[in-house]
Structure 1
Amino acid sequence: MDQMLEFLANNGNELLMKTWEHFYISLIAVLLGVIVAIPLGVALTRVPKLAGFIIGTVGVVQTFPSLAILAFFIPILGVGKVPAIAALFFYSMLPMLRNTYIGVKDVNKSLLEAGRGMGMSGLQRIRDVELPLAVPVIMAGVRVSTVYLIGWATLASFIGAGGLGDYIFNGLNLYRPDLIIAGAIPVTLMAMLTDLLLGRLERGATPKGIRDSQEAF
């Protein structure tokens, strides 16, 4: 305990800086995943023959070891935060893409027919019917991706991207439990708080009727 307090007294500012680095590396990767995966998931519901192939391909990428993905981007993007974000972006894709596809695909077809009968265009049906009804499933994918990426972002330390992984791996190399704890605890807290906030966001974005029916169970 005394060792941890001494560490915080001597390295408090650096800990905050590395926590911020870790957070924004994860956040940018998740945002890129949202920008790409959600529109792609919606598009795949229009071409179901391609959906299985594309989701399967993304699933195969997901099975690659994290360090292998990071190493793959080094010759292309060098070292630092950019290749780390690129690798984490690839890892964020599968849960969001799969959940978006499933959530939109499972929307009640009678509701889509009603929207068509009201004169809604295809984009209007996506915006006003399909996406709102699929929000709980889509957000579940975003939450899973985000929590995973916050954990995986510790590996970014291997290619000079910084973050809390620096403390964890330095602690392992130097046999310093205080460094390992200084990296691991903020990562865990960050993942828990982010999941909690995304859960609140999911609840706020879910249409009231769906939310009430979920709470009834």
Structure 2
Amino acid sequence: MLTQIIHYFQNDSGQYWQCVWQHVYLSLITLAIALVIALPLGYLGSRVKPVAAFCTAFAQGLRIIPSLALLFLLIPFIGTGMLPAIIALVVLALPPLLINTILGFNEVSPLYKEVGTALGMDLRQLRRQIEIPLALPYILNGVKLALVEIIASATLATYIGAGGLGTLIFTGLGLYDMSYVVIGGVSVALLSLLSMAGFDLLIRRVRQHDKASYSI
């Protein structure tokens, strides 16, 4: 198998990098759209209890929907290709983003807000200089979880013509050639691990900065 893998990269490296680019592009576009939806809604949920209850119930409901089932449910309405894949992946990315955004803002200690108010900060300054920085580690953790979910689930988007590394996996399964499956599967795993490691490092640095800046 190792010989087959080396032979593939010698002869079809262009195809491989095209699949990687498609996978990364699909994942980043999905994450950006999910963030635009989840961050304002999560912030609102941290302020309004009925919104928080709705977001929590909505997120829990989405978690029970299988990725592949959601992809196929969209086909009769939107067809195949990139658009239904993005919609399905956005839906799958929303739960960790919503839950962690609400949690992050709820975990900001009232003591910091009181100190900021005593210093003459208005609501906008409190939000920008205190609430968002202190909630950021939780939000970033939600982004990390969402991105890993997107990267893994984007593999199934090949079924509806969205491309990506799933193309290699399903090609290998169809041809009974495990070298394709290994290349695609290991690449997806590496993307997930790199995303997790990068966000873990970022979260650690943000928390260290918060401790230095907001120690009372």
Pair in the same fold by TM > 0.5:
yes
Name the aligned partner's letter for residue 54 of structure 2. F
Aligned to 1:181: 182
Does structure 1 conserve the Cα–Cα contact (< 8 Å) formed by 2:168 and 2:183?
A: yes
Structure 1 distance, partners of 2:77, 2:125, is 40
Partner in structure 1 of residue 124 of structure 2: 123
> How far 1:115 sits from its partner (Å)?
2.0
Superposition pairs for residues 1-217 of structure 1, below 5 Å? 1-206=2-207, 208-210=209-211
Partner amino acid, structure 2, of 1:105: N
| Alpha carbons 1:133, 1:207 under 8 Å: kept | no
Deviations 1:53-91 (A, max 9, x none): 222112202211111211222233321111111111111
Offset of 1:167 from its aligned partner? 1.0
Note the alpha carbon deviations across 1:15-41, whole angstroms, 9 max, x for none: 000001001111111111222212211
Distance (whole Å) between structure 2 residues aligned to residue 208 and residue 18 of structure 1: 38
Q: Which amino acid aligns with 1:160?
A: G
Q: Deviations over 1:108-146 (max 9, x none)?
A: 012112223333232222211111011111111111111
Question: Which residues of structure 2 form unaligned runs of 5+?
Answer: none
Shift of 1:200: 3.0
Pairwise CA RMSD = 1.9
Partners of 2:130 and 2:210 lie apart in 1 by 13
Residues 150/211 of structure 1: CA separation in 2 closer, same or farther (3 Å cut): farther
Partner letter of residue 123 of structure 1? R
Give the fraction of aligned pairs with identical amino acids, expressed as a percent: 35
Q: Deviations over 1:170-204 (max 9, x none)?
A: 21122110110121111111111122222233334
Q: Measure, in 1, the Cα distance between the counterparts of 2:159 and 2:212.
A: 43
Query: 1:168, CA displacement in angstroms?
Result: 0.7
Distance 1:161 1:14 in 2: 15
Deviation at 1:5, TM superposition (A): 1.1
Between Structure 1 and Structure 2, how many residues are aligned?
213
Q: Residue 33 of structure 1 contacts residue 89 of structure 1 at CA under 8 Å; is this kept in 2?
A: yes
- Higher mean alpha-carbon deviation, 133-142 vs 155-164, is at 133-142
Residue segments in structure 1 that go unaligned for 5+ positions in a row: none
Closer, same or farther: CA 188–149 of 1 in aligned 2, 3 Å = same
User: Is the Cα–Cα contact under 8 Å of residues 42 and 98 in structure 2 kept in the other structure?
Assistant: yes
Alpha-carbon distance between aligned partners in 2 of 1:102 and 1:197, rounded to the nearest angstrom: 22
The Cα offsets for residues 137-172 of structure 1, whole Å up to 9 and x where unpaired, read as 111111111112111110000000000101111211
Using the alignment, how far apart are the partners of 2:194 and 2:55 within structure 1?
32
Distance 1:161 1:113 in 2: 50
TM-score by length of 2: 0.91
